[in-house]
Structure 1
Amino acid sequence: MNSSSTDPVISSISTSTDPVALLTSLKAVPEKAQLSQIVGLEQLGETGWSVLMEFLFEQREGLMVGSLPNLAAGKVYQILYRAESPACANFLQTHFPHGIVPLRSQTNIDYSPLQKLLAQQDFQAADKLTLEKMCELAGAAAMQRNWIYFTEVEQFPAIDLQTLNALWLVHSEGKFGFSVQREIWLSAGKNWIKLWSKIGWKNGNTWTRYPQEFTWDLTAPKGHLPLSNQLRGVRMISALLAHPAWTQP
């Protein structure tokens, strides 16, 4: 189905007040169109929130067995998370107390603070915390120096990297994450110069200056975030993008 603003199903959101019809319309379209409809439902206030809660509740069973939520579910969670509504807050606390992404960790690291920042779309703070969590993965020495050797990245548990990636992916409508950067890197023939340009880390011969020249919202180029300690050269990100985590289920 066409996901443009002229689509009759999408256009009907602004005039329909029947929650059942709205939910049926939302579930009937592909994910890309769902993202557009979700924005329209947010604008309806309480009526739209009730539809979004029902939509997200239907995702709950799959999440309980560890499956990754789709991007539409991630968008819905973000809207309900920031809604100034006791009903939405109670719904999330009851059914998604730990967020929407399963926070798996082989090393018992708590990723819930990162999930909260990403749900709030505070990408700059989330980027900083991502580095802190990766240093935590690497151990006490990395935490003290606040950066990571490429040899430490090679020892990271796949589960933890997959969790970090899933958090960025789900809370950015699929725009940010290590797997996104890896896909761009591979499509560029593993050419680092092309990668830097495509993801906005370099303009010609000039590196993007941290933090003021980076884009901390969804208008950024695809793969722009997280920064992955990029100022310390190519070996660290090379180890990250070549990690077995991206080829394991």
Structure 2
Amino acid sequence: MKLCPNIGCLYSHNPQTTQVCLKCGEQLLLNHRYHLWRQVGHGGFGITFLAVDEQFPSQPKCIIKQFNFPASSGRNSYQAMKLFRQEAMRLDELQHPQIPKLLGYFEQENRLYLVQEWIPGQTLKEELQENGVFNEQKIQQILKELLPVLQFIHDLQIIHRDIKPANIIRSSAQGQLILIDFGVAKHITATALLQTGTTVGSPEYIAPEQTRGKAIPASDLYSLGVTCIHLLTDISPFDLFDVTCDRWVWRDYLLPGNTISPKLGTILDKLLQNATSQRYKSATEVLQALNFCYHIVPQKSVNKLHSEVGVDYHRLRDLLATKQWHLADEETWVLMCQAISKPTGSYLFMSDIAKLPCEDLQIIDQLWIKYSQGHFGFSVQKQIYESLECDYVRFCSAVGWHLYNANSPPQWQFFFQNSSPLGHLPSRIWAGGTQWWRHIDAVAQRLTNC
């Protein structure tokens, strides 16, 4: 049976040999080669069909997207038509194994049509409906597979703008995830970054700045984060955000037994930040954080709580064991001063860090790592810092530290919670000197030398 392409008809019972719709008289063969088989999607910018290409004897299947806005839609119609034509030009550049190929583009009966490769398989939305909520391992794999694809399109100055479970297909042939429906993809230009444009995307998944028509690459990362928490809970993203507290509460909706580690939770929380300054800046940065989390610093056993220079670490151990992060952070400063025989509360300079006895630095580090389950510690900070090519600005963004001008005193604001970003603690409250921001260099170097 053939489906009528007339958006006002869509009669689906036309016999295979019929050339015009029996109901409305519309031509059934598009561009002299394609006939529509069934509708597979419908959105604000058009309808998506599974079609058959009659030009080839094998009559292969393909995806055809029909774009049709009534003349009365005015400016919105113009903007949508502009986006669609733009997609047709840009999609040809997206040569990637996890993006459907563009097969053709044509106009017929005052409608625009885009022809793309058909990917047999299930969308993540369908997987969720069939198999239930996803676990941490599946979410981790989704991120690892899709982040490189997002980095690829962002490097080409393209924003997808509609990341959601229904637009991610698991190919039944290769098993890999395919990112589909670039129907609202937008070419990034200097103007686009500065001016408000057309708001497109699925309301449940789009970033706050995208609702104002100012989509940026980090907007796709936000939508990917929302996709993940929806797959983890099978709850509408609208219900996962508590407007009274202005925060995501997705953890409250996890099913018993479907626990998420603090490592992955921290990454998802950062993807979901409303402020773009607090969100990951690139897909590569997220991938680095993900790779680091699952190749975490090994937890070493702490064999002694007294060092050879006479420092007693029992109180630090007890504070960390009871998750009293703020008091443990202050105690860390006290113990570092004791280890190099400086008065309690003295600021430590880079030269002081170089004098820290290896044994004391290692005991402090191992205690933080052990009782935070690898979430906090100097070694954790060292790995993050080095993974970001020793860029202090990016490091601060990754661990959730505020930045200050070089001429400003080292005043700070930290969060002493289990949900704080990976590597957020110990803090830098002890760092002094005219170049106090270089403290992470000194700590990393001392750990290497030890």
| TM-score interval for Structure 1 and Structure 2 normalised by the shorter chain | 0.5 to 0.7
Give the alignment of 1:146-165 within 5 angstroms.
146-165=346-365
| Distance (Å, rounded) in 2 between the aligned partners of 1:121 and 1:235 | 28
Determine the structure 2 residue equivalent to 1:107: 309
Q: CA deviation at 1:204?
A: 9.2
Report SS of the residue matched to 2:355: coil
Give the alignment of 1:30-41 within 5 angstroms.
none
CA contact (8 A) 1:182 1:241 kept: yes
CA contact (8 A) 2:300 2:366 kept: yes
Once the two structures are superposed, what CA deviation does each residue of 1:138-185 show, in whole Å capped at 9, x if it has no partner? 21xx31552212111101111111100000000001000000000000
| Distance (Å, rounded) in 2 between the aligned partners of 1:104 and 1:246 | 22
Give the alignment of 1:54-133 within 5 angstroms.
68-69=300-301, 102-103=304-305, 105-133=307-335
Structure 1 residue runs of 5 or longer lacking an equivalent are: 7-35, 37-66, 70-99
**Range moving further from structure 2, 149-158 or 125-134:** 149-158
Structure with higher Rg: it is: 2
| Distance (Å, rounded) in 2 between the aligned partners of 1:183 and 1:138 | 25
The structure that is helix-richer by fraction is 1
Determine the structure 2 residue equivalent to 1:53: none
CA contact (8 A) 2:377 2:423 kept: yes
TM (norm. structure 1) is 0.54
Determine the structure 2 residue equivalent to 1:54: none
Give the alignment of 1:132-143 within 5 angstroms.
132-139=334-341, 142-143=342-343
The structure that is strand-richer by fraction is 2
| Distance (Å, rounded) in 1 between the aligned partners of 2:368 and 2:396 | 19
CA contact (8 A) 1:176 1:226 kept: yes
Match of 2:437 among 234, 239, 244: 234
Change (3 A) 1:189 1:218: same
1:171 aligns with 2:371: yes
Report SS of the residue matched to 2:307: coil
| Distance (Å, rounded) in 1 between the aligned partners of 2:328 and 2:448 | 21
CA contact (8 A) 2:382 2:440 kept: no
Once the two structures are superposed, what CA deviation does each residue of 1:8-43 show, in whole Å capped at 9, x if it has no partner? xxxxxxxxxxxxxxxxxxxxxxxxxxxx6xxxxxxx
Once the two structures are superposed, what CA deviation does each residue of 1:202-228 show, in whole Å capped at 9, x if it has no partner? 269899964xx4221110000000013
TM (norm. structure 2) is 0.31
Q: CA deviation at 1:237?
A: 2.9
| Distance (Å, rounded) in 2 between the aligned partners of 1:237 and 1:103 | 25
CA contact (8 A) 1:162 1:246 kept: no
| Distance (Å, rounded) in 2 between the aligned partners of 1:216 and 1:144 | 21
**Range moving further from structure 2, 142-151 or 112-121:** 142-151
Higher relative contact order (CA 8 A, sep 6+): 1
Q: How many pairs are equivalent?
A: 157
Query: How large is the RMSD of aligned CA atoms in angstroms?
Result: 3.5
